Structures are given as structure tokens and as C-alpha cells.
Structure 1
Amino acid sequence: MSASSSSSNSSPTKDDIPSQKMLPLREIPGGYGLPFFGAIKDRLEYYYKEGTENFFKNRVEKYNSTVFRTNMPPGPFMAKNPKVVAVLDAISFTILFDNKKVEKKNVLDGTFMPSTDFTGGYRVCAFLDTSEPSHAALKGFFSAQLGKLHNKFIPTFRSSVSELFVNLEDELSKDGKANFNNLSDKISFDFIFRLFCDNRSPDETSVGSNGPKSFDKWLFLMLHPLMTLGLKFVPSFVEDFLLHTFPFPYFLVKSDYQKIYESFNKYGSGILDEAEKYGITREEACHNMVFLAGFSAYGGCKVLFPALIKWVGAAGENLHRQLAHEIRTIVKEEGGVTFSALNKMSLTKSVVYEALRIEPPVPFQYGKARQDIVINSHDSSFLIKKGEMIFGYQPFATKDPKIFANAEEFVGDRFLGDGEKLLKYVYWSNGKETDNPTVDDKQCPGKDLVVLLSKLMLVEFFLKYDTFTVEASTILLGPLVTIKSLTKATH
């Protein structure tokens, strides 16, 4: 993990990419191996022999191409067809945003789809294609509700996050270190529940303090085919069989999910009462709201905040000092933490965008070709046939060395000044950072909220502390972050 706070070596944006007609048409390299066994071989290499990063890196080098054919987990039994065309550079990756050419029906989790038992029997909005009428209705409904909650974002988050720092300091004092993930999950759930449930604390409901664990259990049972636990005392072939061969049943989390559903249905009535205006039943709206809260919001925050703190912590004291100065100066000038103040924090925004670039919370994107498509990489074009599954591994696209100088380094001020032009190559939201989500696309409707919360996390951190140190490793689908030290603000 390398980090830097200077972008003096950043290259300009690549606006001179050759047009499609000028690029030679190349056969897509790679393959799928023997039926059934080829998919298992690729799965074992992906999870256990090479690891995710090397799995893709080795194939890019082998085929001398950022576009190639391979199998993606989970493979046989769990997926009807694990075959994909991988697109791993900043140019080819954007085909996944073209909803006229790519279908997104039931592809949120890739080559398999969890049972709808986990979502009340409904295919929630995230699994719907833009051509399905209910997609526009559901996305429009939740986009409108988020708009109405706009003024609650800052005070609700600040109220929730205050507990994080108290607990961090207590753990550090007691144990000499603090598990950031556990404390971050707790305040993330508290914020999300309060936001959707009329500022009601989860502790006042039947969910109680078990909310984060209930959502964790629900997420694991749905997403286990995409995970590896990395337990050294469990042989890889045993874990592979248990996690990637058959789906875990919904009944294991039924009572937990029902408690959460009933709480959102009761205390989220202010939002759900609006559903019928969009032609959506209250029941369907509530299951979609639980998914939005638990999968998209809470699940996203489980990766988002630890990754942000990991990279900022590793960047070192120089960047910390710059952030603290900007944040404290602007908050003082603006008379508090306001939308206006946050919009003026250019370095803070750049740091957030850089964290989203280097470790996006959702690294995978999928789509199925609606028609025969010719796509471009930097140096070639490729024909993808109608019905083929297209797979994008975002960290390769957003660390494309032909777009970003020092692409593997965390450069805190990368997006300042002319660097702002590079934002169109930041894709974490299932779209370009320079685009805004609409009901006709699959870009995250909470895109701006995610950026806001990331900025708020840094603001709250550096209003209280001058610098901090971290230790990081990887667990399941994201980073595990331990706070090693906190230096309180000297002002």
C-alpha cells in the first residue's frame, strides 16, 4: 500500500484517445477451458492460487490485452453461465454504462443471483433492467425521497458519528489499538436507520443494538459465493466447497430480516406513504427500502469508511496537516459544518475522490450485450456478440496507468486544479463521477450522498485530531482497519 499527498507528477487527461474507426479489430483473446472444469479451475486460481489482483494482472500480461475471455466465480452449480468478457481499462469499461447496448437484468452480483426470498419475494430495483417499467418508478421514488431528506444528512450523520470517536478513544486507552470497522459499522447503521425512520434510534425498536449484526448475516448469506474467508486453518478445497457450491437458505436469517422489515415499515411510514403515488405497493416499497438501507447504504459504508480511513491514515502527517488546516479554517469562516463549507473544501473533496478511485466500494460491474457491440480499449477494438456477459473489474479501470500518473499511489491532491478533468474516469457509482444519476440509468441514486458522508467523516476526524496512524489488512470484501494512535487537535 503506497500513499502520497502530492500530484506534481500527474499526467493530463487523455482526451486524444483514437476514434473507434482508427483502431484495428482484434479477436478477443483468452478462453473458458473445458466445460464445467474450466470454470472450477478459474475459480480456484481467482480465490486461492493467485488472488483477485494477480488473477487479472497475469491475464492482462499473458494476452497483452485489457480485454479478454475468462470465467468468473462462483461457477458451476451457483451460476448457469460463468463465461464473461472482461474489460479492464478506463476506455473499454465504460460500455457497462451504455444502457442502450447493455442489459442489467439480474446481474448486480454477477453470474449468479441470490434468491428473492432475501428481499421479500421481490426483484428489487438494483436487479431490474432500465427497460423494465418498475425500474423508473422505484428509482424515481427513492431519488425523490433522498431529495426530501437532504437537510437531515449533515445533522443526523454528525449525531451518529460522535459516538465513533468516543469509542475509538476508549478502545485505544484500554487496548492500545481500536478496531475501526466494528465501530464504523455501528454508527453507519445508526445513521441509516435514523435517516429512513424519522430520526428514531434503532435501540428504541425491536431491532435494538443487533442491527449491524443482522445486516451482516443477511449480506453474508446472500453474497457468500463471492467471498473467501482466508482462514489459514481451513483447507482451501473445504472452504471452496462450502462457500461456492450451493446457496445458503434464507431461513437462517428470516427472523432477523423480519424484525428489520417491520421496523422500517413502522417507523419509515413517512417515506412509504408516498409509494402509491409512484404506482408502488407499500410492501414492495418497504422491501426495496430495506435493500437500499442494508445492501446499498450499510453494505457500501462497510467498505467505504474503512477504505477512506486506511488510505488517508497511510498518506501520513503532511496530508493530515493540510486537511486539518483546510477543514478548520473553512468551518470557522462559515460558522459551522454546512453544505456551503463542505463545498469549499477542495483538498478534502480531492482526497475523497482519490479514495473512491483507488479502492471503490463496489469493485465489480456486469452487463449483458443487447446486440453485437464493437468496443475500444486504448489500442484495439473488439467485437462482443449479442447475449455475451461483460464484466468490469473497476480497480483496474480506475488505476489505468494510461490515464493516471502514479496510478497505484494514493495522491491526495490528484483532483485539484487541472486534475479535476480526471474525474470523468472515476467510476465508483456505476457511472462517471461527472454524470448525474437518472431514472433511465443504473448509476447509484445516492451518489452525491456517498461523497458528502465521506467528506463529513474527514471533517469530523480532523476537527478532533491532528494526525493518526493505522494498520490495515483485507477481510471478506473489504479492508480491516485498526487505529494505532490518535493525536488530539492542539487548537
Structure 2
Amino acid sequence: MSPVIQAAGGGDEEPLLPVKKIPGSYGIPFLSPIRDRLDFYYFQGQDDFFKSRIQQYGSTVFRVNMPPGPFMARNSQVIAVLDAKSFPVLFDVSKVEKRDVFTGTYMPSTSLTGGYRVCSYLDPSEPAHAKIKQLLFTLLASRKSYVIPSFRTSYASLFQTMESDLAASTGAKSDFNKLNDTTAFDFLGDAYFGVVPSSTSLGNEGPSKASKWLFFQLCPLMTLGLPKILEELFLHSFPLPSFLAKSDYKALYGYFSSAAAPVLDAADKLGLSREEACHNLLFATIFNSYGGVKVLFPGILKWLALADPKLHSRLADEIRSAVKAEGGKVTLAAIEKMELTKSVVYEALRMDPPVKFQYGKAKHDLVIESHDSSYMVSKGEMIFGYQPLATQDTKVFENGGEFVGDRFVGDEGKKLLKYVLWSNGHETENPTVRDKQCAGKDFVVLVGRLLVVEFFLRYDTFTAEVGTILLGAQVTFTSLTKATSSS
């Protein structure tokens, strides 16, 4: 007889499927977590690490050790949920605790964030969470009219540089990631605070300082192509000493304490200290926004580079027609009419979400439902989701492992949006101070669309080499075909 416990995962009010024991094993303490780590990083790679176990256990829910493991993480044991029905349990903060699980089974030292546990590591039950998230909502609302003009100015310069790079010599190439790192950093500072970082004492060093600070937090999840023994010792087994990033963080903090002064005034009214607010604004801007854009923009261009050029033509026609109808101006009203453009961005977010891992600790005994079975989870157990498998679930998405640019076009396409989960929530829902959904959800989708809009206002098509770099795609342009028409 099935236990009388509310199912988690699908949200449907349907009877529980038969409860099965969760397959999989954590193996031999210490040794098995290291073996799983080696599989994850080197012998199998992320996707095959999970797919091989799905095949082995005949289940999209199973027990496994998640890296980094010893000695970085105290406990590597998780219950993996890898389908579209079970994955959303990770969004339900009545069922899972989100305290200190933002980066997974390990947590970077708070000395990297000024001694504070910033909002991403707080559970919504903690009093500071609502205040900090409300501050982020206030910031985004106050600066919404600046986003489009700031983006257009910033990325016009990037595209001009790309053109110059390609025109330099026969066979010349242009590294989009490198240009994007610099451009995105200035754009975000300008859009959020009205102060371009490179015009301050940071100069041109902001992106490198930010990337170094990000690396100190995320390196346990990376491989750099170094000899395995070096990576295992210096990246995956012990935290890098945070003092090595102290001077970089101090310089970044100096920018935010000055540029974000009006937002820090608003923090006072919310009952937050200016210091805590400043550390949180730095984290939200650099880790969440800048780190996200560093992955998202190359990801969008990667899929466009691999797509049929006919998609480029359709995007160019849609974008130029909508802008022409608005008197030649790129407005929010024009962008909202670009259904294919929006679909392309959603599809890129579905295929390559900027944050691939989600974690939550069961607050009480509960039952998780996959498409086929139900599974009992005990209070205190860590639940883990690898989002690309959940959002490529072929029981929800036809040809789920393929990029289909117009997947979300039309009424039937819109019905699938609830299965787009990149924001730590359903795309059809909006973030609140009571949940962990990304405060900048709408901002991220908007700037993703703006990238496509600005690109196809200038170019009919392009070619690029696509590779991988750290946690995302590497895109190197090899040709640009300038626009031959305006509508």
C-alpha cells in the first residue's frame, strides 16, 4: 500500500504511482565518491555520467555521489532527479531547504563574500532573504528603462570590433567570448547603476578580477585540461586559499560601494546594512548576472551557428519587420512581437541552461514522482537535479535533445514553456521573495533576445567555430554577412 504522503515533482493531483526503492548505491565511503568524481570529470563526462546510470538502473531517479566529494565536500551523497516530472521538487521550498546549497554539496568560503552568506545561499525562511531579494527587485524596476539603450550602445561596439577582427587578414577570426567578457561587464554596470566600470578606478581590469573571483568559487566544478593529478589536487580536493582573491574582491567592492550608492540608500529603508547590501549587489551582479551572461550569450550563438541558415533568414525578417513597424526603433513593444526570436532564446536556455545543477535538502519525508514510478525520500536527504536532462526529456519535448528554433512558437509551443526551468523555477511563473527563482529572470530573457535582435539587424548570416570552455561554449566567428535589407 502506498504511503499517504503528498507527491512532489509534477504538481498534478493524481494518484501516486507505485512506490519503489530508489536504485543506486553510494558505494565504499571515500573511495566511491572519488571514483564517481573521476567518471564525472574525465572518464565519462557530465552527460554520459548520468545517462549511463539511467540506463543501468532503468530509472531517472537514483542514488549517486556528486562531485567534488572528498575533501572538498563533507557529504557527496545525493538522490538524482533527471526528468521533467521529478525535477520541479527542487523549486518547492515547502519541501526542500535551500540553505547553503547554491553551488551544491560544497560551499565556498564566506571570506569570498565579505564574511556574509549572500542571498543565493539563504533559504527563504531566513529573515534576510526577503529583504535582499526585494532590494534586487527594486534595483531591476528602477533601471528597466536603461537596459535597451545601454545594451545597444555596448554591443554595437562589440560588433564593430568583430568586423575589424575579421577584416584584418584573410582567414582572420574573432573570439566572441573574449569580447563578450569585456562588453558584458561594462554593460551590466551601466544598466544597473549608470556607471560604466571601465570609466572608474577599475579601468579595464574589472572583467579579469571578476573572472578570477568567480573561478575561486566554481573551480571545484571545472576541468582545465591540466594533468588529472594536478586538477584533482588543486581544484577538486581542497579549496583554493581565498586570500589570493582578496585584493581583486576589494577593488570590485570599491566600485559597487560607490556606483550603487542610491541602491544602498534603498537598502537602509529595508533594514539591511549598507555593507551587507553591497556584498549582495556585488554577488548578484557578478556571479548571477555576469557569470550567467558569460555562459548564455555564447550558448545562444553556438546554437545559431549550428542551425540551418534558413533560421537566420527567418529571424532577420521577423526582427527587421518588427523594428520597422516601430519607426525603426528597438523598443520593448517591438521585441514582444518577435515570437521566433523569443523562442530561440528559450530553446537555448532549454538546451544549455546557465546553471545546470540544482540542489535541495528534504525538509520532511516525501515521495518524488517520475514519469514511471514514485520514490520515498527521507528527511535530510540531499536531492540533486541535472537540468539539461530534465529539460531535454523526450516524454515532454519531441526530439528533446535537438535544438529547434521555433519550438515555442504558437499556442502549442507556449504550452511547453512551463518545462523551461533555467531560472530555478518554471518559465510560466514569476519570482517572489518567498522562493528561490532568479530575481532577474525577465532581465535575462530580455538581454538574450536583445543579443539576437542586435545581431540580425546588422547581419544576414554568419559562420563560427564552436567549442567548449570551462562551464560553457566557446564561439569564434569566421565570417559575417552584413544585412542586405532593412525589412
d(CA) in 2 for partners of 1:449, 1:238: 39
- State the one-letter code of the partner of 2:156: S
Are the counterparts in 1 of residues 73 and 106 from structure 2 also a CA contact under 8 Å? yes
Q: Which residue of 2 is the match for residue 453 of structure 1?
A: 447
Select 2:69's aligned residue among 71, 75, 82.
75
Are the counterparts in 1 of residues 462 and 481 from structure 2 also a CA contact under 8 Å? yes
Question: Which stretches in structure 2 are left out of the alignment for 5+ residues?
Answer: 1-9
Select 1:251's aligned residue among 243, 250, 253.
243
2:312 aligned with 1:320, yes or no?
Answer: yes
- State the one-letter code of the partner of 1:376: E
2:129 aligned with 1:105, yes or no?
Answer: no
Aligned ranges 1:276-355 → 2 under 5 Å: 276-335=268-327, 336-355=329-348
- State the one-letter code of the partner of 1:212: P
Structure 1 runs (4+) deviating above 3 angstroms are 16-20
Are the counterparts in 2 of residues 369 and 384 from structure 1 also a CA contact under 8 Å? yes
Q: Which residue of 2 is the match for residue 396 of structure 1?
A: 389
2:176 aligned with 1:183, yes or no?
Answer: no
For residue 252 of structure 1, report the CA deviation from its aligned partner.
1.1
Select 1:192's aligned residue among 184, 188, 191.
188
Are the counterparts in 1 of residues 323 and 334 from structure 2 also a CA contact under 8 Å? yes
- State the one-letter code of the partner of 1:165: F
Give the SS at the match of 2:434: coil
Select 1:205's aligned residue among 200, 205, 212.
200
2:210 aligned with 1:225, yes or no?
Answer: no
Give the SS at the match of 2:258: helix
Are the counterparts in 1 of residues 369 and 375 from structure 2 also a CA contact under 8 Å? yes
**1:426-474 CA deviation, whole Å, 9 max, x = no partner?**
0000000000000000000000000000110000000000001121111
Are the counterparts in 2 of residues 275 and 285 from structure 1 also a CA contact under 8 Å? yes
- State the one-letter code of the partner of 1:192: L
d(CA) in 1 for partners of 2:44, 2:261: 48
**1:111-144 CA deviation, whole Å, 9 max, x = no partner?**
0000001111000000000100100111011111
Give the SS at the match of 1:195: helix
For residue 197 of structure 1, report the CA deviation from its aligned partner.
2.8
Q: Which residue of 2 is the match for residue 361 of structure 1?
A: 354
TM-score w.r.t. the length of structure 2 is 0.95
1:429–1:252 CA distance, 2 compared to 1 (3 A): same
Q: Which residue of 2 is the match for residue 126 of structure 1?
A: 120
**1:290-331 CA deviation, whole Å, 9 max, x = no partner?**
001110000000100000000012113100000000000010
- State the one-letter code of the partner of 2:296: L
d(CA) in 2 for partners of 1:168, 1:23: 55
Are the counterparts in 1 of residues 16 and 374 from structure 2 also a CA contact under 8 Å? no
Select 2:369's aligned residue among 376, 381, 384.
376
**1:370-390 CA deviation, whole Å, 9 max, x = no partner?**
000101000100001100000
d(CA) in 1 for partners of 2:11, 2:262: 49
**1:342-368 CA deviation, whole Å, 9 max, x = no partner?**
101011011111110011111000000
1:188–1:17 CA distance, 2 compared to 1 (3 A): closer
- State the one-letter code of the partner of 2:136: F
Aligned ranges 1:401-412 → 2 under 5 Å: 401-412=394-405
Select 1:420's aligned residue among 414, 422, 442.
414
- State the one-letter code of the partner of 2:386: Y
Are the counterparts in 1 of residues 140 and 192 from structure 2 also a CA contact under 8 Å? no
For residue 18 of structure 1, report the CA deviation from its aligned partner.
8.0
- State the one-letter code of the partner of 1:227: M
Are the counterparts in 2 of residues 196 and 271 from structure 1 also a CA contact under 8 Å? no
Are the counterparts in 1 of residues 22 and 63 from structure 2 also a CA contact under 8 Å? yes
- State the one-letter code of the partner of 1:429: S
Give the SS at the match of 2:181: helix
d(CA) in 2 for partners of 1:17, 1:106: 25
Q: Which residue of 1 is the match for residue 461 of structure 2?
A: 467
For residue 203 of structure 1, report the CA deviation from its aligned partner.
2.2
- State the one-letter code of the partner of 1:237: I
1:387–1:20 CA distance, 2 compared to 1 (3 A): farther
For residue 20 of structure 1, report the CA deviation from its aligned partner.
5.1
1:97–1:17 CA distance, 2 compared to 1 (3 A): closer
**1:245-273 CA deviation, whole Å, 9 max, x = no partner?**
11111221111111111111112111111
d(CA) in 2 for partners of 1:422, 1:220: 34
1:17–1:141 CA distance, 2 compared to 1 (3 A): closer
Are the counterparts in 2 of residues 357 and 398 from structure 1 also a CA contact under 8 Å? yes
Q: Which residue of 2 is the match for residue 31 of structure 1?
A: 25
For residue 196 of structure 1, report the CA deviation from its aligned partner.
2.9
d(CA) in 2 for partners of 1:86, 1:484: 40
**1:410-432 CA deviation, whole Å, 9 max, x = no partner?**
10110011111000000000000
Comparing both chains, which one has the higher relative contact order based on Cα–Cα distances under 8 Å and sequence gaps of 6 or more? 1
d(CA) in 1 for partners of 2:418, 2:191: 30
TM-score w.r.t. the length of structure 1 is 0.95
- State the one-letter code of the partner of 1:221: F
Give the SS at the match of 2:484: coil
Give the SS at the match of 1:406: coil
For residue 174 of structure 1, report the CA deviation from its aligned partner.
2.2
Are the counterparts in 1 of residues 40 and 49 from structure 2 also a CA contact under 8 Å? yes
Are the counterparts in 2 of residues 373 and 385 from structure 1 also a CA contact under 8 Å? yes
